[in-house]
Structure 1
Amino acid sequence: MRTNLQKIAVLSIPLLILAGCASEPTGPLAYAELSVGLDTQCESFQTGDAADQITVLGDLGTQPEVSFPVPLSGAGIETAVIIEGDGGEVLGGQQVLLHFAGFNASTGDTLQASDFTSQDYVPQDLYPGLVPDFCSALTGVKVGSRVAVLLDAENAHGNVGIQSLGIGASDGVIFVFDIIEAYLPRANGDTQPAKAGLPTVVSAPDGQPGIQIPSSDAPDEYMSAVLIEGGGEPVEIGDNVVLHYTGWTWDGEQFDSSWERQSPATFPITPDGLIEGFVMALDQATVGSRVIAVIPPELGYGDSEQGSIPGGSTLIFVIDVLGK
């Protein structure tokens, strides 16, 4: 199962980051509706006098023309909304797709940039405690917005600089972001009744699942259930899907978790790259849903040892469908 994702970070960006009666929804819900009721994982962005001195010209979908007084310094993290979108707000603890342009705030030098005119968007994970602190910079920004962000040296690179990019230990960094899309931080929808024979799933405040496994022997047959039913689009075989998941063996040993990596997994739902039981669990699951699957060896890794998973293991997966 492929789980690695490219991220933007100063340390890791690829070189060049109604009035009247309401009507019932007629189709799958979008992020703005699916994310209603979820808590933010970071403090909402703050404006500042320094960020307000950054001038950004150009429309969404065009390469921005950026200018600012040099050197430009601010305190902490300052975000200026240049163009406000009309999508749902970024919550933090999630992945977003964006375009970016980066600049050294002390020298004015351009660091790196994506092609804002393309659909080759850059995935970025937004989690508390990561450096650069994009979570604090973008939480509260609406999807579809263009923003300018000024990070001081501590929040941009931990006051260590990045020699390969010509960033000194005291240099701040400016980013211009177009926020193209956001994925859910966790499942969000209607809780479904428990199904007999399946492990009990409990959740941490951020949504990370844990399980309580029955004392009985592992079932011989494949079993699955929707624990939370989301209102988004259904997953079709072949779709590229963004997920959070955790996997255990029936004896309770956890062998994988995208939650602990603080990085949702993105891959196509096909039998070519995934075990059959995992594909079965996701076929027709809707965005926003949480699914549990108990996968017998013949639909998993069979009798073959797979890393820390012994041969002949029955597997348990809890999967949150965050987007597609």
Structure 2
Amino acid sequence: MRTNLRKIAAISIPLLILTGCASEPTGPLTYAELSVGLDTQCESFQTGDAAEQITVLGDLGAQPEVTFPVPLTGTGIETAIIVEGDGGEVLGGQQVLLHFAGYNATTGDSLQASDFTSQNYAPQDLYPGLVPDFCSALTGVNVGSRVAVLLDAESAHGNVGVQSLGIGASDSVIFVFDILDAYLPRANGDAQPAKAGLPTVVSAPDGQPGIQIPSTDAPSEFMSAVLIEGGGEPIQIGDNVVLHYTGWTWNGEQFDSSWERQAPATFPITVDGLIEGFVMALDQVTVGSRVIAVIPPELGYGDNEQGSIPAGSTLIFVIDVLGK
């Protein structure tokens, strides 16, 4: 049963090229740097003749002017790069921030659009198997790009249409996306030594964690450890942070997992909205990191039953910090 954590109160310098010398990186790493070495979760985008017929005028940060022949049909998913960015590749299995404009490719009608001139970006989760299949449409595209995507009826809406938008069962759909930012799909950094007394964490190929709990009584004090140390910015109390997390009780019962919902969680790290132990576990942890925390009842839900969590439970969280 899902538990809603938020319901609990509680240089610019001249470049010198020297033979045999290399400068060390300074400052927090960017998404492009943090994501190096991670595998893609969807097949990379494919171009196509039909998508190349979509004309998009305008610069990034401006509302696009979109024209295309009507009707326009293609096969599967076709992606055309209009403006190519350099912010690191979209990997799939993650959340991206974008602006979008949608069109019925069969009728030419405009569907929905965001304000491309604003900073109110739309979050979009990219996971295999979701419809529309934006994961296959955008995997391999660089952050900072503008693309036009043509999805056939099966890829866009499973051949059932969207009546509220006037999309028929056989209608293809066009989207124009500006990809403004991306969050990591999982923790990525340097593995850290294990800490005695904490559960052992194992990972599935996609990064989803599992745990092996020691056959001992639950610790009476708060315990935490960084398992993977990322090179991004550190979390400050009050920051709005994007996370994947799974929670268990000390007896091994899982009570919540953003991984299983295929939707990273985003919320401010404050004791006004989260249990105190969760906030303690994340203070000053860097983006790209994975942390484990064992939280005693007084820093968790105390003597109150919370959904499937019995009163007086010691909690275990494994948290991946994906962005902020």
Q: Shorter-chain-normalised TM-score: which range?
A: over 0.9
- Number of the residue aligned with 1:6: none
2:40 match: 40
Correspondence for 1:157: 157
Deviation of the 1:82 alpha carbon: 0.1
> What's the counterpart of residue 323 of structure 1?
323
Q: Which residue of 2 aligns with 1:303?
A: 303
Structure 2 residues not aligned, in runs of 5+:
7-14
- What SS does structure 2 have at the residue aligned with 1:247? strand
Following superposition, the deviation at residue 164 of structure 1 comes to 1.0
TM-score normalized with structure 2 length? 0.95
Q: Which secondary structure state, in structure 1, belongs to the residue aligned with residue 80 of structure 2?
A: strand
What letter is aligned with 1:266? T
Superposed, which structure 2 residues align to 1:73-88 within 5 Å?
A: 73-88=73-88
Give the secondary-structure state (helix, strand or coil) at the position aligned to 2:278: helix
1:133 has 2:133 as partner: yes
Distance (Å, rounded) in 2 between the aligned partners of 1:135 and 1:150:
13
Q: After TM superposition, give the deviation of residue 22 of structure 1 in Å.
A: 3.3
Query: C-alpha deviations, 1:104-160, integer Å up to 9, x for none?
Result: 000000000000000000000000000000000000000000000000000000000
Is the CA contact 1:2–1:265 (under 8 Å) kept in the aligned structure 2? no
CA apart distance, 1:30 = 0.6
Partner residue in 2 for 1:224 = 224
Alignment match, 2:177:
177
Distance 2:38 2:172 in 1: 32
Please state whether the residue corresponding to 2:243 is helix, strand or coil: strand
Please list, as runs of the form range in 1=range in 2, the aligned pairs for 1:266-285 lying within 5 A after superposition: 266-285=266-285
Is the CA contact 1:2–1:267 (under 8 Å) kept in the aligned structure 2?
Answer: no
SS state of the match for residue 179, structure 1? strand
TM-score for the superposition, normalised by structure 1: 0.95
- Alpha-carbon displacement from aligned partner over 1:279-319 (angstroms, at most 9, x marks no partner): 00000000000000000000000000000000000000000
Give the Cα separation in 2 of the matches to 1:288 and 1:217. Answer: 31
Match for residue 263 of structure 2? Answer: 263
2:253 is aligned with 1:253: yes
Q: Which runs of 5+ in 1 are unaligned?
A: 4-17
**Cα contact 2:5–2:275 (8 A) shared by 1:** no
Question: What amino acid does structure 1 have at the position aligned with 2:98?
Answer: L
Q: Which runs of at least 4 in structure 1 moved beyond 4 Å after TM superposition?
A: 18-21
Retained in 2: the 8 A contact 1:85–1:142? Answer: yes
1:23 Cα offset (Å):
1.7
Cα displacement (A) at 1:2: 5.2
Q: Distance in 2 between matches of 1:299 and 1:38?
A: 34
Percent of matched pairs sharing the same residue: 88
Measure the CA separation in 2 of the matches of 1:236 and 1:262.
26
Give the match for residue 288 of structure 2. Answer: 288
CA contact (8 A) 2:98 2:124 kept: yes
> 1:66 — aligned with what?
66
Q: How many residues align?
A: 311
